[in-house]
Amino acid sequence: MTHWFHRNPLKATAPVSFNYYGVVTGPAASKICSDLRSSRTWLLELFTDLSCNPETMKNAADSYFSLLQGFINSLDESSQESKLRYIQNFKWTDTLQGQIPSAQQDAVFELISMAFNVALWYTKYASRLAGKENITEDEAKEVHRSLKIAAGIFKHLKENHIPKLITPAEKGRDLETRLIDAYIIQCQAEAQEVTIARAIELKHAPGLIAALAYETATFYRNADHTLSSLEPAYSAKWRKYLHLKMCFYTAYAYCYHGQTLLASDKCGEAIRSLQEAEKFYAKAEALCKEYGETKGPGPTVKPSGHLFFRKLGSLVKNTLEKCQRENGFIYFQKIPTDPQLELKANYGLVEPVPFTFPPTSAHWTPETLAMFDLTKRPKDDSAKPKPEEEVKPVKEPDVKPQKDTGCYIS
């Protein structure tokens, strides 16, 4: 079954030459600067290369990050930072804020921003793979793992590197807590969507599916709440997605919970649960339309047209009709006023894959570091760029979901 995931644009960045005329005094230092320039360019190109896979992305990212570590960490592993940490100014746009970049003269800002884009790449790779026709079991596992890797990167940046920035993230920018928390939670929720589809395919107990759907809806609700204080002008579309997915999986939870109740001869409660599923499905359907009409970062699609969405509508309708027939012929039970849905999943819950940056490249030695002479920097070298300067947006390939055959993701 093809899935549909909302994706914000990649971060864009200004070119970095790593040319330090006068400062670099030896061939080993020149070689590191050249390698930094080429590995950064390669990594940026891979973000929009549809043939790139996780192994290639990891190798390219590790290559660049291991070299960049020499600009951040001391070589003797002490608590001291590298003397080169503030030698270069880096500019990056944000996923929601258009093309006006944030700029910091800090290699830690570059490390975080590039890794943020790597995490975004994993989410986009998962989205492309999940939208394929006739997705295989191995591909579904790769979707699941890619989303957990992305969550792990976002989590690692939040806990270990963003606090090290000298200049705190501005409100509404990617590195601010509200946004990075939303990205972490969204990755977990989407990975659990794959788990739910797998559980349905293997005909697991409705109680397990209902509990997983309930937990997934809670993830989406929490992500939406995290963004609730952001400016609607740039967060509205993303929030519509999170809200509609919350309603969608709440409907799923009530639907499968109703099946569990019916199997326990609680037909009246089952009808009430299915009525609630019907209500949340209608809400999700309305939000799908609103999502398509809302301007802002993200794709322009009609999620209500996807089979994964339509299929739930048929399931809710058919299950409710079955419960009503059973109650009319066999049970004659009163339908409760208030539906109950407090479920806890004991299996299948998604946790981020732990992430760490690679160690500093072996090309960095005390002798190489000594070849960078900061006393020879030009006096105007630290002049800050104009904040209104624009960075060219990333030209992302327009990948449209393939025709859905109705096969569940497995």
User: Is there a domain that residue 20 lies in?
Assistant: no
Closest CA to 90 of 157, 21, 14: 14
User: Is there a domain that residue 58 lies in?
Assistant: no
User: Is there a domain that residue 243 lies in?
Assistant: yes
pLDDT, average across residues 54-80: 92
274 Rama class: left (phi>0) / alpha (psi -120 to 50) / beta: alpha
Question: Sorting pLDDT into bands at 50, 70 and 90, what band is 402?
Answer: very low
User: Is there a domain that residue 60 lies in?
Assistant: no
Q: How many angstroms separate the CA atoms of 37 and 56, rounded?
A: 18
Decide if pLDDT at 236 tops 80: yes
Decide if pLDDT at 123 tops 70: yes
User: Is there a domain that residue 379 lies in?
Assistant: no
DSSP assignments along 271-303, one per residue: HHHHHHHHHHHHHHHHHHHHHHH--SSS----G
Backbone angles phi and psi of 103, in degrees to 5 = -130, 135
Closest CA to 25 of 365, 366, 371, 375: 371
Residue 53 CB: number of other CB atoms within 10 A? 12
User: Is there a domain that residue 117 lies in?
Assistant: yes
The residue type of 243 is: H
Given this model, what pLDDT does residue 99 score? 79
Backbone angles phi and psi of 261, in degrees to 5 = -65, -40
Output the domain CATH number for residue 261: 1.25.40.280
Question: Sorting pLDDT into bands at 50, 70 and 90, what band is 301?
Answer: low
Can you give the C-alpha Rg of the chain in angstroms?
25
Quote the number of domains for the chain. 1
Tell me the per-residue pLDDT of 16-38, one tens digit each, with 9 for 90 and over: 999 999 999 999 999 999 999 99
Q: Which domain holds residue 103?
A: 88-359
Q: For tokens 């963003």, what's the residue?
A: 162
100 Rama class: left (phi>0) / alpha (psi -120 to 50) / beta: beta
Decide if pLDDT at 253 tops 50: yes
Cβ neighbors of 318 (< 8 A, separation 6 or more) are none
Percent of the chain with pLDDT strictly greater than 90: 60
Given this model, what pLDDT does residue 154 score? 98
